[in-house]
């Protein structure tokens, strides 16, 4: 009997549909990416799906959606090897995961067919009788049994135990060599094979009577009935570690107790789950199976198959955990962490889904989402007017492979206008250990663009120090495991890590801080930042910020970050008494003090910063005066300052080194030393009772040693003030410099005669009481001169006669008549000659009044509060005032006649507080609505040596024809940047225009707008923003060179005029200028993120240069409005 074609087709279809496991057709070409074309009903039932549509939704229409990503990859690898060898047929084993979460072992067999329309097609059958399906599989390399033999023997053993109805014990052990690929890569495949053979021998020797098999690659399995299984696993682990000590490999093992109701293949799977759970645990190499591991595995499988849907549905959420600045206790950052809040699975932990996303090569989707969400949230917070803090986030090694993660971050930052310094990228040790070159290249790319790159989990791996040596990090996060066992040993390790980081200039952050004890320890050793449950667990943003507010944590502003980062570089770990003092111009605040500092400052009675502050800030306390003089000297000299002082009968020396300053605050490292009992003090006789009394009487005490030609500061003297050293060589050089910098000019010659070392001995001998005294006007810390008395004492007992002298300085108590006599003698005047009725005498008062009335110079003078006291007639006429009464008692700000008050205020405060002279400072003032360019000069007014006000005058460059240095550069130069201003631009434009009409020389106008400038101005203030403008101008000038004109119009709007040959050249130049500006990442040490938008107008696009500038500026501003980066 013969069958027709239709009957044959019907029978084949029926047999396929009724196959016990199921049947599938899929595309097999690489480009098709395992797309499923058809699944039989029995296959749909095998996967616990309702119908074909349900099956396609569950699998996402691809074979990769049918199981554990690891198993799927292994299956693809096995099929690929067989096809690559030229076989059309293939057979492999794997595990599938059904819709209900069942894990089923199956055998796959099939063949590939080349279809004219579909291309390469695979026809695959699924067989659930996997043991029968497995081929004979003894391993030719190690001689061990393969998976089939192992499972078959295990099944027989289980059946025998069941029939005998007795519990026979036993357990399955799954072994995996972690980082086995490193052996092949570093030592070669032959060495890898040798390692596998030696491991097989170790397993046979360690489990001589048990079932041992090699499943695949570096995976081995043992069914053992030994009672000391953990001890035996430890023996194998230790032996493998010694086989290749040059390569970072480790044997991991998972153990599952044999259960006669559980199939051997499932038992092995569970042992493997236990093994996989410790794959990245540094200090764990064996673990027993726990039922929660299956839940983790299923959650991972769910995550791998549901990520896209979860992202679209909003189930993936970004949580934030606070980061605290230890020295201030303020909120200085957040770490972004991911949570998966699925309606059906509730809250999934990262440990359950991140490994699965990495295995399925989808982790980049998650990480890019996190970056976008961080930036979106930043923009939302800024728009609401709330304070913001930097946010750090983790990247995976696979991010650098699966996408251009740097560009993904850049796109998000640009879209939401986020400063790059508000984003911190965290890289784990393991990423660099496994893919060093690729990750290092991307790290450098991030850092070059202005992002901070942090090392996460420092100390969690074996090569932390090498990674610090070979890579540049901005910060390291100390692994929380160091705090999990908080003992003396872990403390010592953390102290060493923090000290090392400070020497390398790397910030430190400790994770896992849970107790106040831990926090105080980390703060005291100088760990800059901390993070942990003590301050809050990861929470949604609003809840996190509310929690910080409840704890009273203030938000550290962006403008203060540089200040505290600089303070954080101070190494607190020293045996020397040390403190960190903050000074606001009036009082001191103790930011930090070590044990030695408090032992000296408070005699060890307590560690109260408040008590030290109360002592230091007592106005009548000589120590306060000494400290204040030292820090204010340091502000002038920029050098480390040294002082000596007495406190409660003991002698101390102290140094002050500036660490950071911002606005009105300055921070100093202050180190102390008790010199009362030092050998040096005894040699000098510093503790003699007479000298003790001198210390209490005088402001400064200096030891002048003629024999050694040195001057030694025993108490806050000139040598310390000017050099930072305690002893200075060269007596004549010291006193000459002091005279020039400290002594009133009319008193200098008297001072030099008085301090002449050649005559000191003779004068002291002639004095009745053995000492000589004189009075000199001496400059104080605010620039004013005050009378001080200078006393010279001969020290006969401290060396050869006439070799050593004491110079003591104190505030003068002389009577006013004597002071007036010295003052008049200095001016060459007689007492009573300042005012005279004699018409032949031209008194200063008469001369001054006539000068004010008749001079055309715009004179003015002010009191110490910058209020006008008077002005010349020319000044009043210039501003249109009829009487001086219209300005008396008012400041420049009250009058409102300056375009920018800050430069004028700064100059005048320098005159009044520091005695500076200001010559021809450029500025702008508004006269009847018109902006005028002026140059102003100012000088202090002295009365009895004290600054009581200032005298000034100015010239109008626009109306007077006044020239400086023979040119009018001042009228066309921008004061902040040094490039041309608007006036200079228009003058230069005339030359370009004439050249164009006379010689047809083409020119273009490029307008550059930096929109972020206003943000930086608002956050950092005028000083930093001016520095930013100057940097931008330098970048533009550096690119344009002498081939064009560069001008700043207002804020951060610049114009460039250049000649060109082809229009494309102009666009290329404009893009290059934008790139140069975008590479600016700091101004005066503060982090900045800026971009530039450009507009171009060619010479024939408008009738005048003014119009060309307007066209170019409009184009640039339009790009700002629509967020374009070009």
Q: What is the mean pLDDT of residues 149-161?
A: 85
Tokens standing for 795? 């020290």
274 has pLDDT over 60 = yes
Residues 1072 and 980 in one domain: yes
* Helix (H) / strand (E) containing 614: helix 609-616
| 214 alpha-carbon distance from chain centroid | 49
- Residues β-bridged to residue 787: 777
What lies within 8 Å, CB to CB, of 662 at 6+ separation is: 559, 560, 562, 563
Does residue 337 lie within any of the structural domains?
yes
Could you give the angle at which helices 1105-1122 and 982-999 cross, rounded to 10 degrees? 120
Instruction: Specify if 691 maps to a domain.
Output: no
User: Which residue shows structure tokens 């024939």?
Assistant: 1100
pLDDT tens, residue by residue, 527-551: 999 999 999 999 999 999 999 999 9
Q: Report the C-alpha gap between 44 and 66 in whole angstroms.
A: 11
Q: Please tell me whether residues 564 and 603 are part of one structural domain.
A: no
Q: What pLDDT score does 1103 carry?
A: 83
Question: Average pLDDT of 690-709?
Answer: 74
Q: Which residue has the tokens 């000492």?
A: 771
Q: Are residues 263 and 331 in the same domain?
A: no
Structural domain includes residue 322: yes
In Å, how far are 271, 310, 1036 from 365, measured between CA atoms?
31, 11, 39
Q: Provide the H-helix boundaries in 816-937.
A: 816-827, 844-854, 873-879, 892-895, 901-914
Which element (helix H / strand E) includes 352?
Answer: helix 350-359
Report the alpha-carbon distance of residue 1054 to residue 977 in Å, rounded.
11
Alpha-carbon span 537 to 332, nearest angstrom? 16
CA atoms 975, 978, 982, 986: torsion sign: positive
The DSSP string of 496-556 is HHHHHHHHHT-EEEE----SHHHHHHHHHTT--EE-STTT---B-HHHHHHHHHHTT-PBP
Separation in Å, CA 716 to CA 203, 321, 630? 77, 49, 8
Query: For residue 337, what are the β-bridge partners?
Result: 319
pTM metric for this prediction: 0.64
Q: Are residues 551 and 585 in the same domain?
A: no
Give yes or no: residues 154 and 104 share one domain: no
d(Cα 750, Cα 1085) in Å, to the nearest integer?
Answer: 46
| Predicted confidence (pLDDT) at residue 769 exceeds the cutoff of 80 | no
Report how far residue 64's alpha carbon sits from residue 533's, in angstroms, rounded to the nearest whole number: 39
On whether the CB atoms of residues 803 and 706 are closer than 8 A, the answer is: yes
DSSP state of 207: S
Residue 782, CB-side half-sphere exposure with 13 Å CA sphere: 15
- In terms of C-beta density within 10 A (0-12 exposed, 13-18 middle, 19 or more buried), how is residue 520 classed? exposed
pLDDT of residue 683: 44
CA distance 1014 to 1003: 30
Measured distance CA(700)–CA(718) in Å, rounded: 8
pLDDT tens, position by position, 374-426: 999 999 999 999 999 999 999 988 888 889 999 999 999 999 999 999 999 99
Is 283 in the same domain as 348? no
What pLDDT does residue 915 have?
A: 87
- Number of domain units in the chain: 7
Query: According to the model, what pLDDT value does residue 176 have?
Result: 92
Is residue 996 scored above 70 in pLDDT? yes
Verify that 128 and 147 share a domain, yes or no. no
Q: What angle do CA 213, 219, 225 make, to 5 degrees?
A: 45
In a domain, 296, yes or no: no
For position 799, what pLDDT does the model report? Answer: 54
Q: How many CB atoms lie within 10 A of CB 1083?
A: 21
| Single residue among 960, 995, 1022 that ends a domain in this structure | 960
d(CA 384, CA 381): 5
Contacts of 203 (CB under 8 A, 6+ apart): 144, 175, 212, 220, 222, 236
Give the Cα separation of 12 and 112 in Å (integer): 18
CA pair distance 1080, 1077, nearest whole angstrom: 6
Whether 805 shows a pLDDT value over 60: the answer reads yes
CA 418 to chain centre: 15
Q: What is the pLDDT of residue 828?
A: 46
| Sign for the pseudo-dihedral over CA of 493, 494, 499, 502 | positive
34-48 residue pLDDT tens:
788 888 888 898 888
| Judgement on whether residues 741 and 880 belong to the same structural domain of the protein | no
The neighbouring-strand residues paired with 300 are none
Q: Give the per-residue pLDDT at 141.
A: 82
pLDDT for res 838: 53
Number of other CB atoms surrounding residue 459 within 10 Å? 19
Rounded to an integer, what is the distance from CA 965 to the centroid of its chain?
Answer: 45
Among 96, 117, 132, the domain boundary falls at 132
In tens, the pLDDT along 1024-1050 reads: 999 999 999 999 988 987 678 889 998
Residues 6+ apart with CB under 8 A from 198: 240, 243
Between 272 and 970, name the one with better pLDDT: 272
Q: Which CATH number fits the domain that encloses residue 809?
A: 3.30.450
Pairing of strands 219-224, 171-178: antiparallel
Q: Is 716 left (phi over 0), alpha (psi -120 to 50) or beta?
A: left
Tokens representing residue 1043 in the block: 């081939």
CA 734 to the chain's CA centroid: 44
pLDDT digits (tens, 9 = 90+) for 579-588: 999 999 889 9
pLDDT per residue as tens digits for the range 123-140: 888 887 654 444 456 777
Instruction: Calculate helix-pair angle for 363-384, 405-416, nearest 10 degrees.
Output: 20
Residue 173 CA to residue 150 CA, distance in Å, equals 12
The answer on pLDDT for 746 being more than 90 is no
The average confidence (pLDDT) of the chain is 82
Q: Does 1075 have pLDDT greater than 90?
A: yes
- Give the model's pLDDT for residue 686: 44
* CA distance linking residue 646 with residue 622, whole number of Å: 8
pLDDT in tens, 908-934: 999 998 888 888 888 877 665 555 778
Among the candidates 536, 568, 600, a domain finishes at 568
pLDDT for the residue numbered 1030: 93
Read off the DSSP letter of residue 967.
B
- 226: left (phi > 0), else alpha (psi -120 to 50), else beta? beta
Same domain, 444 and 593: no
Per-residue pLDDT band for 1007 (boundaries 50, 70, 90) equals: very high
Q: Is the pLDDT of residue 603 over 80?
A: no
Do residues 393 and 412 make contact, with C-beta atoms less than 8 angstroms apart?
no
Task: Give the alpha-carbon dihedral of 595, 598, 600, 604, to 10 degrees.
Answer: -90
In the chain, % of residues over pLDDT 90 = 30
Domain of residue 206, residue span: 135-289
Is the pLDDT at 301 greater than 60, yes or no? yes
pLDDT of residue 1068: 94
| Pairwise CA distance, residues 911 & 914, whole Å | 6
Report yes or no: 425 and 471 within 8 Å, Cβ to Cβ.
Answer: no
Q: Which of 453, 456, 528 is nearest to 498 (CA)?
A: 528
Q: How far apart are CA 1126 and CA 1092, in angstroms?
A: 7
361/467 same-domain check? yes
Who's near 318: CB < 8 A, 6+ residues apart?
336, 337, 338, 339, 370, 373, 374, 377, 541
pLDDT at 719: 37
Hey, what are 591's tokens? Answer: 């930011």
Residue 693 lies in a domain: no
Q: Specify the pairing of strand 23-27 against strand 119-127.
A: antiparallel
Segment (H or E) for 862: strand 858-863
Q: What is the 3-state secondary structure (H, E, C) of 552-591?
A: CCCECCHHHHHHHHHHHCCCCCCCCCEEEEEECCCCEEEE
Asked if residue 379 and residue 242 are part of one domain, the reply reads no
CATH of the domain at 1097: 3.30.70.270
| Whether residue 1026 sits in one domain with residue 1076 | yes
E strand segments, 43-198: 89-97, 103-115, 119-127, 171-178
Which CATH number belongs to the domain containing residue 895 in this structure?
3.30.450.20
Q: What is the pLDDT of residue 833?
A: 40
What does the alpha-carbon distance between residue 800 and residue 476 come to, in Å, rounded to a whole number?
60
Mean pLDDT of 674-692: 53
Q: Is residue 905 part of a domain?
A: yes
Q: What is the mean pLDDT of residues 883-894?
A: 88
């Amino acid at each position: 009997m013969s069958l027709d074609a239709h009957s044959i087709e019907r029978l084949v279809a029926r047999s396929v549909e009724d196959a016990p496991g199921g049947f599938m057709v899929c595309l097999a070409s690489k480009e098709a990416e395992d797309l499923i074309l058809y699944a039989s009903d029995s296959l749909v039932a095998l996967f616990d799906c309702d119908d074909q549509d349900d099956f396609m939704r569950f699998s996402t229409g691809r074979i990769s959606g049918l199981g554990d990503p690891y198993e799927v990859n292994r299956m693809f690898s096995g099929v690929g090897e067989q096809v690559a060898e030229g076989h059309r047929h293939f057979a492999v084993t794997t595990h599938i995961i059904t819709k209900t979460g069942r894990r089923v072992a199956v055998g796959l067999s099939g063949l590939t067919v080349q279809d004219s329309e579909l291309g390469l097609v695979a026809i695959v059958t699924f067989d659930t009788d996997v043991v029968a399906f497995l081929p004979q599989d003894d391993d030719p390399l190690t001689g061990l049994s393969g998976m089939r033999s192992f499972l078959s023997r295990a099944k027989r053993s289980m059946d025998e135990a069941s029939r005998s109805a007795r519990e026979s014990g036993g357990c399955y052990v799954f072994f995996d060599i972690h980082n086995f690929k490193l052996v092949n890569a570093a030592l070669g495949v032959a060495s890898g094979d040798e390692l596998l053979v030696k491991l097989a021998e170790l397993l046979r020797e360690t489990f001589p009577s048990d079932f041992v098999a090699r499943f695949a690659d570096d995976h081995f399995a043992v069914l053992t009935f030994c009672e000391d299984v953990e001890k035996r696993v430890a023996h194998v682990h230790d032996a493998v570690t010694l086989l290749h000590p040059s390569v970072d490999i480790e044997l991991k093992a998972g153990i599952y107790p044999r259960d006669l109701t559980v199939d051997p293949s499932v038992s092995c799977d569970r042992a493997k789950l236990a093994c996989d759970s410790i794959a990245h645990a540094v200090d764990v190499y064996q673990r027993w199976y726990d039922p929660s591991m299956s839940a983790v595995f299923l959650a991972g499988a769910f995550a791998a198959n549901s990520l896209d849907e979860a992202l679209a549905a909003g189930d993936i959420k970004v949580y934030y955990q606070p980061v605290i600045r230890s020295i201030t206790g303020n909120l200085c950052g957040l770490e972004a962490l991911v949570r998966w809040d699925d309606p059906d699975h509730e809250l999934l932990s990262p440990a359950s889904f991140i490994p699965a996303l990495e295995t399925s090569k989808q982790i980049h989707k998650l990480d890019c989402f996190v970056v976008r969400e961080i930036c979106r949230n930043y923009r939302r917070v800024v728009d609401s007017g709330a304070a913001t803090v930097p946010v750090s986030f983790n990247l995976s090694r696979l991010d650098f492979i699966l996408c251009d993660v740097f560009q993904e971050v850049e796109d998000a930052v640009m879209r939401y206008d986020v400063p790059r310094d508000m984003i911190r990228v965290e890289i784990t040790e393991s990423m660099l250990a496994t893919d060093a070159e690729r990750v290092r290249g991307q790290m450098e790319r991030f850092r070059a663009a202005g992002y901070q790159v942090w090392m996460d989990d420092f100390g969690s791996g074996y090569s932390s120090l090498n990674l610090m040596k070979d890579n540049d990090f901005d910060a390291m996060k100390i692994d929380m495991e160091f705090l999990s066992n908080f003992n003396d040993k872990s403390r010592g390790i953390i102290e060493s890590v923090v000290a090392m980081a400070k020497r390398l200039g790397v910030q430190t952050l400790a994770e896992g801080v849970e107790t106040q004890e831990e926090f105080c320890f980390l703060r005291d050793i100088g760990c800059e930042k901390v993070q942990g449950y003590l301050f809050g667990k990861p929470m949604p943003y609003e809840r996190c910020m509310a929690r910080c507010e409840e704890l009273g944590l203030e938000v550290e502003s962006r403008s203060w970050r540089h200040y505290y980062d600089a303070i954080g570089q101070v190494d607190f770990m020293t045996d020397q008494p040390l403190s960190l003092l903050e000074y606001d111009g009036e009082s001191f605040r103790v930011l930090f003090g070590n044990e030695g500092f408090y032992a000296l400052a408070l005699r060890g009675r307590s560690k109260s910063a408040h008590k030290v502050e109360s002592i230091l800030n007592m106005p009548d306390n000589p120590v306060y005066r000494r400290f204040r003089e030292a820090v204010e000297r340091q502000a002038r000299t920029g050098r480390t300052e040294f002082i000596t002082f007495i406190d409660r009968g003991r002698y101390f020396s102290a140094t002050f080194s500036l660490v950071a300053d911002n606005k009105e605050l300055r921070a100093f490292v202050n180190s102390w030393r008790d010199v009362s009992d030092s050998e040096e003090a005894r040699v000098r006789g510093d503790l003699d009772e007479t000298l003790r009394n001198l210390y209490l009487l005088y402001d400064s005490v200096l030891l002048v040693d003629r024999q050694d030609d040195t001057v030694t500061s025993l108490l806050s003297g000139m040598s310390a003030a000017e050099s930072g050293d305690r002893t200075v060589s060269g007596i004549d050089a010291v006193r000459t410099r002091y005279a020039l910098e400290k002594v009133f000019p009319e008193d200098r010659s008297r001072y030099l005669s008085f301090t002449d070392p050649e005559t000191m001995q003779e004068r002291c001998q002639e004095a009745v009481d053995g000492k000589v005294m004189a009075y000199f006007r001496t400059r104080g810390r605010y620039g004013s001169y005050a009378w001080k008395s200078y006393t010279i004492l001969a020290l006969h007992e401290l060396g050869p006669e006439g070799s050593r002298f004491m110079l003591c300085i104190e505030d003068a108590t002389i009577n006013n008549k004597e002071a007036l006599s010295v003052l008049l003698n200095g001016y060459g005047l007689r007492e009573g000659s300042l005012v005279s009725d004699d018409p032949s005498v031209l008194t200063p008062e008469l001369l001054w009044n006539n000068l004010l009335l008749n001079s055309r110079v715009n004179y003015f003078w002010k009191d110490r509060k910058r209020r006008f006291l008077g002005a010349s007639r020319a000044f009043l006429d210039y501003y249109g005032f009829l009487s001086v009464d219209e300005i008396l008692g008012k400041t420049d700000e009250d009058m409102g006649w300056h375009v920018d008050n800050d430069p004028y205020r700064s100059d005048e405060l320098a005159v009044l507080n520091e005695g500076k002279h200001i010559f021809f400072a450029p500025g702008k003032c508004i006269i009847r609505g018109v902006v005028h360019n002026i140059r102003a000069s100012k000088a202090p007014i002295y009365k009895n040596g004290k600054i009581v006000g200032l005298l000034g005058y100015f010239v109008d460059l626009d109306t007077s024809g006044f020239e400086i240095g023979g040119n009018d550069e001042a009228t066309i130069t921008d004061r902040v940047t040094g490039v041309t201003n608007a006036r200079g631009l228009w003058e230069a434009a005339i030359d370009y225009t004439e050249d164009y009409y006379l010689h047809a020389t083409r020119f273009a106008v490029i307008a550059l707008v930096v929109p972020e400038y206003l943000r930086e101005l608002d956050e950092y203030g005028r000083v930093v923003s001016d520095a930013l403008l100057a940097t931008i101008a330098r970048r533009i000038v550096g690119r344009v060179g002498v081939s064009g004109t560069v001008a700043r119009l207002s804020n951060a709007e610049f114009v460039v005029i250049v000649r060109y040959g082809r229009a494309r050249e102009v666009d290329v130049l404009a893009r290059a200028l934008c790139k140069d500006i975008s590479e600016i990442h700091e101004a005066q040490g503060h982090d900045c993120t800026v971009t530039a938008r450009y507009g171009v107008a060619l010479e024939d696009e408008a009738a005048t240069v003014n119009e060309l500038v307007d066209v170019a500026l409009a184009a640039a501003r339009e790009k700002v409005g629509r967020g374009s980066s070009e």
